[in-house]
Structure 1
Amino acid sequence: MSHFSTIRTQLRCRTSLLAGLRDVVTPLCSDSDSLEAFLNQAVRTYEAPVQLQTAYSDVAHCEVVVSRSAIGHHTDIGFRLNQSTGIYELVSDDYRYYASTLAQHYSEIEGFSQQVQLRHDRHYAVAQAMTQGFVLQDELVDPVTRQVKLTLSRC
C-alpha cells in the first residue's frame, strides 16, 4: 500500500515553482555561508520524472524534487507535471510529517503547499510584469497570512 498522496495545486510555471521552492526551504538552512549549496542540494529538477527517495518500498516519480535530507523527512517531496492539465501536483508521504524539520515551519503539508503556491505566484507575477515594462518597487509580506503585496512601476 502506498503512503504517497497527491495534492492539487495551480503551479503552472516550472521556473516560478523552482524559485518559490527555494524561497520556502531557505529558512531550513542552518548555515547562511552555505545557503547556495544547501539550495542546490535541497531543490532538484529533472527533464524526465525520477523516483522519489523514501525509507519505504513505495514508489512515486516526479520532475521536481525537494530532498528528504534537506527537510528532515523520511521521504522526498515531489512535484509531478500532469501532462493533461499542464499543472504540477505535489506528491508527498505525510506519514510522520510532524517529525520533520519542515513541520517546524509548516505544521501540515497543505501549509507548505500553500506557501509554495504563494511564492510561485509572486515570482510569476513579477516575471510577467517585467515583460510588460514594469519593475518591482516594493514588496510587503503579511507576517500572519504570508500574502504578498507587490508595488510595480513602469520603467
Structure 2
Amino acid sequence: MSHFSSVKTQLIHKEALVQGLKNLLEQKGIAAKVEVHENPVELISDYSRRDIAYGQIIIRRTDLNVSGHSALLDVGFLWNSQEECFELQADPWDFNRNALGKAFGQMNGSSTSPIQNFINEVQLAHDRAYIEIHYPPTLWDYTETTLEDGSTRINLSQKVSLTTGVDGASDWTNW
C-alpha cells in the first residue's frame, strides 16, 4: 500500500530550500515547477484520496512522470514549527519509481535509498543557496572541497577591501 511518509531533514531556510531545489532539479534535467505556498496545502495522491499530507513547497506528481510510469503522489516539504525544520512529505514506493527516484537512484556506488540520496543532495543545494543569499560573492569568497568520506566542506572568508579616504589615506575595512 502506498502512503505519504514524513522524513525529518535539517532544511531550515525557506528561500534557500526553494532556490536550492530549483537549482538541483535543473541540474538533474527534471523540468518540474516548484510551487511555494505561505500556508500548507494538500498534496495529491492518485493512489488514495484518504491519504492526506500537506506541504508548503511542492513538486506535483504530474511533473514527475517517467517513461512507463506515471507518478501517483506529489512530493512536498512542510515546515515543522516544533523541530524548526522542513520535513519531506513523500511516498517512498512512488518516489523510487518517479523522475526523482530515477535521478537520485544509485549514486556513486552508494547503498543509500533514492529518497535519502535526494535529501542529501537537497540539503547541499539548500546550504549552497543559503550561502549565496547571506554571503554575497561581492563580499565573500568561498571554496568547496569534497572530503575523502564524500562529504562536502565549504569555507567562507570575508574579502578585505582597501578604500581610500577623503584625504587620500588608505583605510582597511571589513576586518
TM range (shorter): 0.7 to 0.9
Q: CA RMSD in A?
A: 2.7
Q: Give deviations 1:121-149, integer Å, cap 9, x for gaps.
A: 11112322239x7235666678x947364
State the TM-score, normalizing by the size of structure 2. 0.69
Structure 2 residues not aligned, in runs of 5+ = 66-70, 106-113, 162-175
Residue matched to 1:34: none
Structure having greater relative contact order (Cα 8 Å, sep ≥ 6): 1
Mapping of residues 2-151 of structure 1, within 5 Å: 3-26=3-26, 27-29=28-30, 38-39=31-32, 42-56=33-47, 57=49, 58-72=51-65, 73-107=71-105, 108-130=114-136, 134-136=139-141, 145=150, 147=152, 149=154
Contact 1:136–1:152 (CA under 8 A) maintained in structure 2: yes
64-73 vs 43-52, greater mean Cα deviation: 64-73
State the TM-score, normalizing by the size of structure 1. 0.77
Corresponding letter in the other structure for 1:14: K
Q: Distance in 1 between matches of 2:21 and 2:12?
A: 13
**Aligned-pair identity (%):** 27
Q: Give deviations 1:92-140, integer Å, cap 9, x for gaps.
A: 0112333212122112111111110111011112322239x72356666
As a proportion of its length, which structure holds more helix?
A: 1
Q: Distance in 1 between matches of 2:8 and 2:86?
A: 8
Structure 1 residues not aligned, in runs of 5+ = 30-37
Q: Give deviations 1:1-47, integer Å, cap 9, x for gaps.
A: 87111111111100000011101211234xxxxxxxx45xx210001
Q: Which runs of 4+ in 1 moved over 4 A?
A: 136-142, 148-153
Q: Distance in 2 between matches of 1:135 and 1:68?
A: 38
Alignment: residue pair count: 143
Q: How much does 1:79 deviate?
A: 0.4
Q: How much does 1:75 deviate?
A: 0.9
